[in-house]
Amino acid sequence: MSLKLGLGVIDVSEPYESKTTWDVGMDLEKNYAFFSSFYDAHDQEIADLLAKDAAIGIDMMLKGQTVEISKVFAVSTDTISDKMKNFISTKEAESVVKPVFPLIAPTLAAQEGLSYRFAKGYSAKRQVKGIKGIGKEIKKRNPRPSFQYSGVFEESLTAEVK
């Protein structure tokens, strides 16, 4: 039996265009090696988290308990998901990603402070959960982290073990 760690997104519509978070994730991986860069920067932490949960799973098996992979690795995958979200919000991604020429990080939109996140009635958590806001306008504020335009992509980041 082999296990695989998946780094990705909960696939929901982005509020400002016809793309989904899956489309955005594919674009970011292609143009910035977003997920690969995150893994490269945190590979030892990820390995340690998964090893700890795996040890718990093995202990459960030795005791004759039923082992469900998703439940055994729930703590580590939740922690990895949070680390991916922090990868954006702390601006770590800007110093770690490997953009394909001529793209750069931080992105120009981030430097200009363009954001959908502050539109009236809008919340990324609501969008990921399927509850639409009423905001439609793009706001210009102070510079923001790259890859955080609406917040939906960031909120939808998830890790799973299969």
pLDDT digits (tens, 9 = 90+) for 127-160: 556 655 555 555 566 666 778 777 889 999 999 9
Of 11, 9, 7, which Cα lies nearest the Cα of 38?
7
Of 8, 28, 4, 3, which Cα lies nearest the Cα of 110?
28
Over residues 72-123, the pLDDT tens digits come to: 999 999 999 999 999 998 989 888 888 776 666 566 666 665 565 555 554 5
Give the domain range for residue 145. Answer: 5-161
- Cβ neighbours for 94, distance < 8 A, ≥ 6 positions apart: 105, 106, 110, 145, 146
Cα–Cα distances (Å) from 107 to 28, 38, 144, in that order, read: 12, 17, 10
Q: What is the CA radius of gyration of the chain?
A: 18
Number of compact structural domains in the chain: 1
